[in-house]
A and B are shown apart, each in its own frame.
Chain A
């Protein structure tokens, strides 16, 4: 039953992705000022939203692990699996953001990169979560989950500080397109393609996140079983 639900969800995701691609490339009209290159927004912005959402899930998982670690080991393991899969899938989406951004920037600004608030914050998030994954790889043994949870919390605290410090410094990234000041917002004809792509990429991200979470849970169960067998064999 669970498998069937997953397979039908995966099929839905594939259909959404194809529809989103069609909307982004064929349906959305040319941008009046930027031309074809603007279509990158259909990939850049959804990936960024998904990455930030998954990093938030990772932070929640880290806090949950520290909270449940003594009282409720079962929940603590579940939280840790969410923390790890959120960070890992988030890094993949964040990489997409960092790759698509410069491609657009080269055409629109004439430069690949600039040390602007949002760019620096995103790059720093990426660096912090890569270091989080490295810690999980290098630190072996049962304490790794605790250490990773602490690092996850530290990293998340850094993000608002970087964001503020860079706003004081310099800002070049376009002002928020939605809900911003006068003159912001998209042409009406571009909104449906944009929303379709948001939904499609979010659905895709959630599919990968769930798969990664299941793999991690199975890892945990195998490790637990091995530990149990080792204990019973020696007695």
Chain B
């Protein structure tokens, strides 16, 4: 079980390390979103702290979609996906490996983006900054987990790239809300972010479990 997962993960990481396709496009795209919002709203002081959480979450969300769309497209070429369907390994391994790989890509982008973000929005964190180390990974996991699942679901449809956003964003709304509220409350120091972190954790557990259970149904749908 673990070996199949590890093989898929190592393969995805190796491809990404050699091409850096997903990483570069995500980094540049999220940078663009941050700059565009900064120009549009001219954030200063308290106002910057209030909108920063939302901007960071939405920037991550839009950026990840570009990587999520590529996640399965690569497998379609040369009928790799058909070969994977025929292997005896459970689809859940493949799914989990893809989620972990893309989670790592998005996290690296966030780590690079965060300092830039603090500089451009002149942020001083008023709350407990270390809590961000829980909020961002939990929110990213919710996004990437559902994203990989829905990308597999929409892969065989017409305009699949548009369709992924159309079905992912509505389902992601509660996690986005929790992520934004938690980040904002950490940045401004008002309110308690723990409630939102618990909500994110619950969302992650529920949706990851159901994705793992239903992935084979989607993967083998014909």
Which residues of A are at the interface with B, using a C-beta cutoff of 8 A? 66, 124, 127-128, 131-132, 134-135, 138-144, 146-147, 150-151, 153-155, 157-158, 161-162, 164-166, 168-169
> Which chain B residues lie closer than 8 Å to A151 at the CB level?
150, 153, 167
Q: Are A147 and B181 within 8 A (Cβ)?
A: no
Residues A146 and B158 in contact in the complex (CB < 8 Å), given A128-B171, A131-B166, A155-B170 = no
Is B76 positioned at the interface, with any CB of A under 8 Å from its CB? no
**Nearest B residue to A141 by beta-carbon distance?**
B156
**How distant is the Cα of A128 from the Cα of B168 in the complex, in angstroms?**
9
Q: Are A139 and B157 within 8 A (Cβ)?
A: yes
Using A146-B217, A150-B217 as known contacts, list a sample of 7 further A-B pairs with CB atoms less than 8 Å apart, ordered by residue number in A: A131-B166, A132-B167, A135-B163, A140-B158, A142-B222, A158-B174, A165-B177
**How distant is the Cα of A139 from the Cα of B163 in the complex, in angstroms?**
9
Q: Are A127 and B218 within 8 A (Cβ)?
A: no
- Measured between C-beta atoms, what is the minimum distance from A90 to chain B in Å? 15
Main secondary structure on B side of the interface with A = helix
Q: Are B158 and A138 within 8 A (Cβ)?
A: yes
**How distant is the Cα of A9 from the Cα of B222 in the complex, in angstroms?**
40
Q: Are B170 and A124 within 8 A (Cβ)?
A: yes
Among A144, A147, A153, A166, find the residue whose CB has the most chain B CB atoms closer than 10 A.
Answer: A147
**10 CB < 8 A contacts A-B:** A128-B171, A135-B157, A135-B167, A144-B157, A146-B221, A147-B218, A150-B218, A154-B207, A161-B174, A161-B199
The 6 closest A-B pairs by CB, nearest first: A139-B157, A143-B221, A127-B170, A146-B221, A131-B167, A138-B157
Interface members, chain B 160-188 (any A CB < 8 Å): 160, 163, 166-167, 170-171, 173-174, 177-178, 181
- Measured between C-beta atoms, what is the minimum distance from B85 to chain A in Å? 12
Residues A128 and B154 in contact in the complex (CB < 8 Å), given A150-B214, A157-B210 = no
> Which chain B residues lie closer than 8 Å to A150 at the CB level?
153, 214, 217-218
Q: Are A153 and B177 within 8 A (Cβ)?
A: no
Is B108 positioned at the interface, with any CB of A under 8 Å from its CB? no
**Nearest B residue to A139 by beta-carbon distance?**
B157
> Which chain B residues lie closer than 8 Å to A165 at the CB level?
174, 177-178, 199
> Which chain A residues lie closer than 8 Å to B207 at the CB level?
154, 157
- Measured between C-beta atoms, what is the minimum distance from B13 to chain A in Å? 28
Which residues of B are at the interface with A, using a C-beta cutoff of 8 A? 146, 150, 153-154, 156-160, 163, 166-167, 170-171, 173-174, 177-178, 181, 195, 199, 202-203, 206-207, 210, 214, 217-218, 221-222
> Which chain A residues lie closer than 8 Å to B171 at the CB level?
128, 154-155, 158
> Which chain A residues lie closer than 8 Å to B217 at the CB level?
66, 146, 150
**How distant is the Cα of A157 from the Cα of B213 in the complex, in angstroms?**
14
**Nearest A residue to B214 by beta-carbon distance?**
A150
> Which chain A residues lie closer than 8 Å to B174 at the CB level?
158, 161-162, 165
Q: Are A147 and B158 within 8 A (Cβ)?
A: no
- Measured between C-beta atoms, what is the minimum distance from A91 to chain B in Å? 13
**How distant is the Cα of A124 from the Cα of B221 in the complex, in angstroms?**
27
- Measured between C-beta atoms, what is the minimum distance from A194 to chain B in Å? 32
- Measured between C-beta atoms, what is the minimum distance from A111 to chain B in Å? 20
- Measured between C-beta atoms, what is the minimum distance from B95 to chain A in Å? 13
**Nearest A residue to B160 by beta-carbon distance?**
A138
Residues A140 and B157 in contact in the complex (CB < 8 Å), given A135-B163, A157-B207, A161-B203 = yes
Q: Are A138 and B159 within 8 A (Cβ)?
A: yes
**How distant is the Cα of A231 from the Cα of B20 in the complex, in angstroms?**
47
> Which chain A residues lie closer than 8 Å to B203 at the CB level?
161
- Measured between C-beta atoms, what is the minimum distance from A113 to chain B in Å? 16
Q: Are A134 and B218 within 8 A (Cβ)?
A: no
- Measured between C-beta atoms, what is the minimum distance from A80 to chain B in Å? 13
**Nearest A residue to B165 by beta-carbon distance?**
A131
> Which chain B residues lie closer than 8 Å to A138 at the CB level?
154, 157-160, 163
> Which chain A residues lie closer than 8 Å to B195 at the CB level?
168
